[in-house]
């Protein structure tokens, strides 16, 4: 199975539109909390229940040194549920991307079994956190690469490496969601009357 990047992108955009997200940076933890059949736990909560105090050891031994882990459960009645565990102390911009990645697994109904699903989840995270129509609005006429990079990391609350990857996609491919997403965020660049 090949990664379906168009599906991942469209799912990210449909998420933004269906939840009427108009503020940046987009908060994947808020979206995750709205997901049905999804339980969310911080590593601290799990450690407290287990009587553990060494976060580094816990993360290494129990979470494969990952900033987040999602478990997929199939229940007897056939319903699917997810359990997300994440490190609330991870670097904030990295945590944003990691949580968006895990959200991608959930919304794309991944089994979390192969590399193609990992690629799709990364693509979803990039397009959710940095919707290209909004990124294009912010980049505008700015031609200084370092200025655009700094603006992107600040406005979208992502790491420099995530921003660089997104900026390579510019100008974005335009799909049916493009004008809707751009309209969703155009208040950031449209001056208000009387201002």
Tell me the residue range of the domain where 80 lies.
5-185
Residue 190 within a domain? no
The answer to whether position 72 is within a domain reads yes
Burial class of residue 66, CB neighbours in 10 A (0-12, 13-18, 19+): middle
In a domain, 134, yes or no: yes
Q: Is residue 136 part of a domain?
A: yes
What was the pLDDT predicted at 112?
83
Using CA atoms, how far apart are residues 153 and 53, in angstroms rounded to an integer? 33
How far apart (Å, rounded) are the C-alpha atoms in residues 165 and 124? 13
Confidence (pLDDT) at 138 = 84
* CB neighbourhood size of 158 (10 A): 26
How far from the centroid of its chain's Cα atoms is residue 195's Cα? 33
What pLDDT was estimated at residue 191?
A: 58
Q: Quick check: is 157 in a domain?
A: yes
104, 116 in Cβ contact below 8 A? Answer: no
pLDDT of residue 195: 47
Give domain status of residue 193, yes or no: no
Residue 192 lies in a domain: no
pTM for the model: 0.92
pLDDT by 10-residue block (mean), the chain, 195 residues: 94 98 97 96 96 92 93 93 96 96 97 93 98 88 83 94 90 86 86 51
Residue 180 domain flag: yes
């Amino acid at each position: 199975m090949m990664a379906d990047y168009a599906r991942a992108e469209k799912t990210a955009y449909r998420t933004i539109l269906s939840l009427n997200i108009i503020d940046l940076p987009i908060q994947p933890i808020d979206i995750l909390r709205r997901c049905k059949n999804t339980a969310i736990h911080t590593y601290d909560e799990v450690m407290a229940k287990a009587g553990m105090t060494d976060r580094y050891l816990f993360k290494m031994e129990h979470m494969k040194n990952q900033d987040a882990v999602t478990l997929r459960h199939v229940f007897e009645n056939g319903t699917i549920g997810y359990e997300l565990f994440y490190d609330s102390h991870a670097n904030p911009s990295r945590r944003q991307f990691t949580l968006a990645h895990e959200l991608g697994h959930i919304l794309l109904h991944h089994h979390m079994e192969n590399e193609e699903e990992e690629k799709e989840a990364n693509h979803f995270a990039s397009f959710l956190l940095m919707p290209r129509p909004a990124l294009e609005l912010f980049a505008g006429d700015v031609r200084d690469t370092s200025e655009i990079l700094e603006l992107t990391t600040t406005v979208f609350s992502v790491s420099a490496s995530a921003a660089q990857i997104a900026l390579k996609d510019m100008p974005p491919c335009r799909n049916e969601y493009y004008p809707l997403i751009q309209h969703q965020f155009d208040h950031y660049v449209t001056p208000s009357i009387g201002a």
